[in-house]
Amino acid sequence: MANKITFKGELFKTMMEQLDSLNGDLKTVTQKALQKTHEYITPKLQEDMKCHRRTGRTEGSIDQTAKVNWEGNTAGMDVGFHIRSGGLASIFLMYGTPKMAKDQKLYNDVYGSKTKKEIEKMQQEILTQEIQKKMGG
């Protein structure tokens, strides 16, 4: 199963409430922000997997579809490796084993603080642009 990306934090909640009060299309904005996040993470994973390529199975398990999944009012999107589609080795690559060090680049592509900050920044920019558009600016 791939990892899920979502909006998190008080700032996002406040911005979404502000956009909602301006009659903004929350669903479209959410989808746009999550798709942008997928476009940021996926190429990094593909690039950093090249040095581990043997059969291509693990690399081929990287989620290529930027599909937003809705569960009630919660939106999420799969990113990373699908374990059932050949991505099992990604666990060992990202976390290491007793005899093999983890690949820090792969780990950081999904979980790194720089990645998280960049994702948050991109999502905030998309929300801010939409709020400004609705306010006439």
User: How sure is the predictor about 2, in pLDDT bands with cuts at 50, 70 and 90?
Assistant: low
Q: Is 73 exposed, middle or buried (0-12, 13-18, 19+ CB in 10 A)?
A: exposed
Q: For a pLDDT cut of 90, what percent of the chain falls above it? A: 55
Domain layout of the chain by residue ranges: 3-129
| pLDDT averaged over every residue in the chain | 88
Residue 11 has pLDDT above 80, yes or no: no
User: How sure is the predictor about 50, in pLDDT bands with cuts at 50, 70 and 90?
Assistant: very high
**What pLDDT score was predicted for residue 37?**
92
Cα separation, 100 vs 73, whole angstroms: 41
User: Within a 10 A sphere around the Cβ of 29, how many other Cβ atoms?
Assistant: 21
More confidently predicted of 13 and 103: 103
User: How sure is the predictor about 1, in pLDDT bands with cuts at 50, 70 and 90?
Assistant: very low
**What pLDDT score was predicted for residue 7?**
66
Total-model pTM: 0.84
Residue 55 has pLDDT above 80, yes or no: yes
Cα separation, 24 vs 17, whole angstroms: 10
Residue 49 has pLDDT above 90, yes or no: yes
* pLDDT tens sequence across 90-137: 999 999 999 999 999 999 999 999 999 999 999 889 988 988 888 886
